[in-house]
């Protein structure tokens, strides 16, 4: 399906893509425990309790694909999910990363998570993009900029997804997006577009799916055509 500019209808393709099976396949607490590299991978990062698990559930249309919790630090490892009808040949792999910043665990545990994320980001050839979730009520904070600097150093493509759109006044939505874009000017690897989403209201979810479908189109045309 194409639009008026003769390019694929990424929103519709994204909708169909995320209507496929999505299954947990692997959890890794150490870099030597990662699954073998295979399909294109999309990772989701963000401060503890920013809403990563809720977003993954909304993105895939499932209520409990990723566990949600009001306790920061619930995700304590890299969790991998295969997306596609054939578990042996998935279209895409989603990666839920441990939250950075405050977490209700020991400093040693946080240091281990930080080391795991750093090594993962620098050495995973199949990792196509990291979607960095930012609480839309508060915008970019120093810890977020530290994470973005880490991604800049790894020369990894990343894109901001503002969360909790339903908790921001409608009159402030555009200003919030523009403020985030301004904050990105200092970061060389950042994708210029910012998505503002609400997992509870299903706002911005189709836009995020379309962004992922477009990324597949750009990075792996054969798999894109299968999907």
What is the residue extent of each domain of the chain?
A: 10-226
Q: Hey, which residues does 98 pair with through a beta bridge?
A: none
The CATH number of 10-226 is which of 3.40.50.800, 3.40.50.740, 1.10.10.10, 3.40.50.300? Answer: 3.40.50.300
- The whole-angstrom separation of Cα 216 and Cα 210 is 10
pLDDT tens digit at each of 227 positions of the chain: 444 567 899 999 999 999 999 999 999 988 889 999 999 999 999 988 898 889 999 999 987 776 544 444 455 689 999 999 998 899 999 999 988 876 555 677 767 777 888 889 888 999 999 999 999 999 999 999 999 999 999 999 999 999 999 999 999 999 999 999 999 999 989 999 999 999 999 999 999 999 999 999 999 998 899 88
Q: What is the pTM of this model?
A: 0.89
For residue range 139-188, what is the model confidence (pLDDT) as tens digits? 999 999 999 999 999 999 999 999 999 999 999 999 999 999 999 999 98
User: What angle in degrees, to the nearest 10, is found between the helix axes of 205-219 and 10-17?
Assistant: 100
């Amino acid at each position: 399906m194409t639009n008026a500019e003769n390019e694929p209808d990424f929103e519709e393709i994204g909708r169909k893509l995320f209507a496929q099976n999505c299954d947990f396949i692997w959890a890794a607490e150490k870099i030597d425990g990662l699954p073998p590299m295979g399909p294109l991978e999309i990772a989701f990062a963000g401060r503890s309790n920013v809403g990563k698990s809720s977003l993954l559930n909304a993105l895939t249309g499932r209520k409990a694909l990723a566990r949600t919790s009001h306790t920061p630090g619930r995700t304590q490892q890299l969790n991998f999910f295969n997306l596609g009808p054939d578990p042996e040949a998935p279209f895409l792999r989603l990666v839920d990363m441990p939250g950075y910043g405050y977490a209700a665990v020991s400093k040693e545990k946080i240091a281990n998570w930080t080391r795991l994320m750093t090594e993962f980001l620098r050495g995973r050839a199949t990792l196509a993009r990291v979607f960095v979730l930012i609480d839309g009520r508060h915008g970019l904070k120093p810890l977020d900029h530290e994470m973005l600097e880490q991604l800049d150093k790894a020369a990894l493509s990343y894109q901001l997804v503002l969360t909790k759109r339903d908790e921001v006044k409608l009159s402030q939505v555009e200003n919030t997006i523009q403020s985030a874009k301004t904050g990105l000017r200092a970061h060389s690897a950042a994708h210029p577009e910012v998505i503002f989403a609400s997992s509870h209201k299903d706002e911005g979810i189709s836009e995020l799916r379309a962004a992922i479908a477009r990324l597949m189109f750009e990075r792996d045309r054969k798999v894109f055509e299968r999907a």
